[in-house]
Amino acid sequence: MKAFRILLRSINDGLRSIFRNFSLSTASILCSTITLILVAVAMVLSANVDNFTKKIEDDMTIVVFLDSKATSEEVEIIRNKIDNIANVDEDETIYKTKAEVKMEMQNESAIFNTVMGDWDEETNPLKDTFQLKVKDIEQINETAKEIENIDKVSTVRYGEGLVEKMVGAFKWIERIAYGAVLALILVTIFLIINTIKLTIFSRQREISIMRLVGASNFVIKTPFIIEGMFLGLIGSIIPVLVVLFGYTTLYDMTHGYLFSPIIQLIKPTPFIYYTSAILVVIAMIVGMIGSARAARKYLKV
Amino acid sequence: MKFIKIEDCYKVYKNGVTATAGLNLEIAKGEFVFIIGATGCGKSTLIKMLYREEKPTKGKVIVGGIDVAKLRNSKVYKLRRKLGIVFQDFKLLPKLTVYDNVAFPLNSMGAKKSEVKARVVKALELVGLKEKIRSYPNELSAGMQQRVCIARAMVNGPKLLICDEPTGNLDPETSKEIMNVLDGINKELGTTIVMVTHDKDIVNRMKKRVVLLENGVLVSDELKGKYKAHESI
Ligand SMILES: Nc1ncnc2c1ncn2[C@@H]1O[C@H](COP(=O)(O)OP(=O)(O)OP(=O)(O)O)[C@@H](O)[C@H]1O
Ligand SMILES: [Mg+2]
């Protein structure tokens, strides 16, 4: 009950203080708004990049054609060699004999079915294959080359070259975005420290009297922490709106994919709600870190 | 055991100034003690150690069972809640009403609203300022402001009231009124009062215990004492 009353008072004090130092409060709120918009963009971007690279990686298969003269022992050796390549996902490697490949193709299309209908084991021109998946799609080129160097492997084929280049580029964009966000968060913390510092200075007299009349450190510190939290919170309003409405609009306008249907966007619900919640939490934490630092430095409690 | 016990207390400030040098002093519950002495002799330093604004460099300062030297910064408020402090410059908050100024200590402890009200009214009655409850400090005379300050110091019902030249800014007539308030508090509530003063008339008229400091040491300590200045040495 007592702690609750102190908290209520602190919230009251903290909010009043935001209006009292209006210009500086506005500056730090604006800064956190900009930061958080960028954080939001980075979050949306990286979640989407993550989402469709996973999808692409799932779809992207290397097909290894084996020499038709390879014996079953040799096939086993090749399989071991392939699975020993670090970037190959061993659990996904599938071996298919030419008969199986033929059947699969026949099932897929009626034309294939008639053409291939009278091929038998001897006349079947198809080859035994390994189908495999890689762990890191950016390394797919190197992995393909490595496989090609294995004995009795004729050709290696994998998906479109453009896609994996794009994935690589997006991953770089993601990294740069993270770096920028980190820098901006630091700037915001710095601005909040300064805002709170000013509040502390403007209330020095009150604080010293509070000390003299027996206010505990908790009571003295809490209003400033809450002020910082509110600065962050107010700063997160516009970014949250940007996520809620901006992403939905983007999704509707692009019909859910970018450039090509391979690059699918994440569905807005519940994605935008998670993202907004994370933004609000980040905003409050950034505000509290800033104010806690200022309180520790300038309150000497 | 005495309420205040100061044993072989040294205070050396960071700049090397020795403010008290081997001070010994005991004060019982309910006493009214004047601390006098020339400027710079260490009076304020002595009482600052009582409310742990300063820590003794060496020796013991015990107030109401609390060892001031061992008190951690984060626990100072526990000591402060047991005592009231009155300053020469009042230290009131100009933006708060008399009521809110007096309520300030209780509010910052998270006291209940109804309890705050009852106590504030009682404290203002004690200093005879109940009718000014809605005024702001700058609407009051200096003597009234000092009474608000005393009310604030007493609102928590402390056993000890520390005053550093409470009449220093007041004319003789107003000083007399303030002394009457303090004497009343001491007599009626049994509150221990330690008061630093330069006011010869007050000391001589009140006939209380008088402690004289000189260069940070106690040079005389008399019950029902008179004001002594440098000529006595
Ligand atoms: N915070 C401080 N830092 C350094 N020296 C100090 C500090 N406070 C007081 N002093 C020095 O300690 C000595 C005692 O000071 P103190 O304030 O206790 O004197 P006082 O007896 O209260 O004087 P006055 O009657 O003028 O108020 C003085 O020489 C003063 O300059
Ligand atoms: Mg002094």
On chain A, the residues whose CB falls within 8 A of the CB of B119 are none
Hey, where are the domains in chain A? 2-56+164-298, 61-157
Token pair in block for residue B174: 């107003």
CA A95 to chain centre: 34
Which residues, 6 or more positions from A262, have their beta carbon under 8 angstroms from its beta carbon? A52, A55, A56, A59, A163
Which residues, 6 or more positions from B119, have their beta carbon under 8 angstroms from its beta carbon? B106, B111, B155, B156, B157
Question: Is residue B231's pLDDT more than 60?
Answer: no
Average pLDDT of chain A, as a whole number: 83
What's the rounded Cα separation, in Å, for the pair B122 and B130? 9
* A186 vs B48 pLDDT, higher one: B48
The ligand 1 atom at the shortest distance from the C-alpha of residue B37 is 21
* A286 vs A99 pLDDT, higher one: A286
Rounded to a whole number, what is the distance in Å from the CA of B74 to chain A's nearest CA? 6
On chain B, the residues whose CB falls within 8 A of the CB of A16 are none
Question: Is residue B232's pLDDT more than 70?
Answer: no
Q: Please say whether the beta carbons of A192 and A291 come within 8 A.
A: yes
CA-angle at A228, arms to A222 and A229, nearest 5°: 85
Which residues, 6 or more positions from B186, have their beta carbon under 8 angstroms from its beta carbon? B30, B32, B192, B193
Centre of ligand 1 from the C-alpha of residue B11, in Å: 10
What's the rounded Cα separation, in Å, for the pair A247 and A262? 19
Token pair in block for residue B160: 């000890």
- Residue A56: pLDDT band by 50, 70, 90 thresholds? confident
Residues of B with CB under 8 A from a CB of A: 51, 73-74, 76-81, 85, 91, 93, 104-105, 107-112, 152, 156
Burial class (CB in 10 A: 0-12, 13-18, 19+), B26: middle
Centre of ligand 1 from the C-alpha of residue A251, in Å: 72
CB contact under 8 A, B156 and A214: yes
What's the rounded Cα separation, in Å, for the pair A118 and B106? 98
The model's pLDDT over A79-119, given as tens digits with 9 standing for 90+, comes to: 888 888 888 887 778 888 888 888 888 888 888 888 888 88
Written as one letter, the residue type at B24 is N
Residue whose token pair is 């709120």: A29
Centre of ligand 1 from the C-alpha of residue B19, in Å: 6
Lowest mean pLDDT among A41-50, A224-233, B89-98: A41-50
Could you say which DSSP state residue A242 is in?
I
Could you say which DSSP state residue B156 is in?
T
Please work out whether the CB of residue B41 comes within 6 Å of at least one atom of ligand 1.
yes
Range B108-132 burial, b when 16+ CB lie within 10 A, else e: bbbbeeeebeebbbebbebbebeeb
Q: What is the pLDDT of residue A181?
A: 79
Q: How far apart are the first and last CA of chain B?
A: 32
Q: What is the pLDDT of residue B58?
A: 94
Closest by Cα among B196, B90, B110, B194 to B156 = B110
Please state the pTM of the whole predicted model: 0.75
Segment A275-295 mean pLDDT? 92
Domain A61-157 - what CATH class? alpha beta
Token pair in block for residue A183: 């820098």
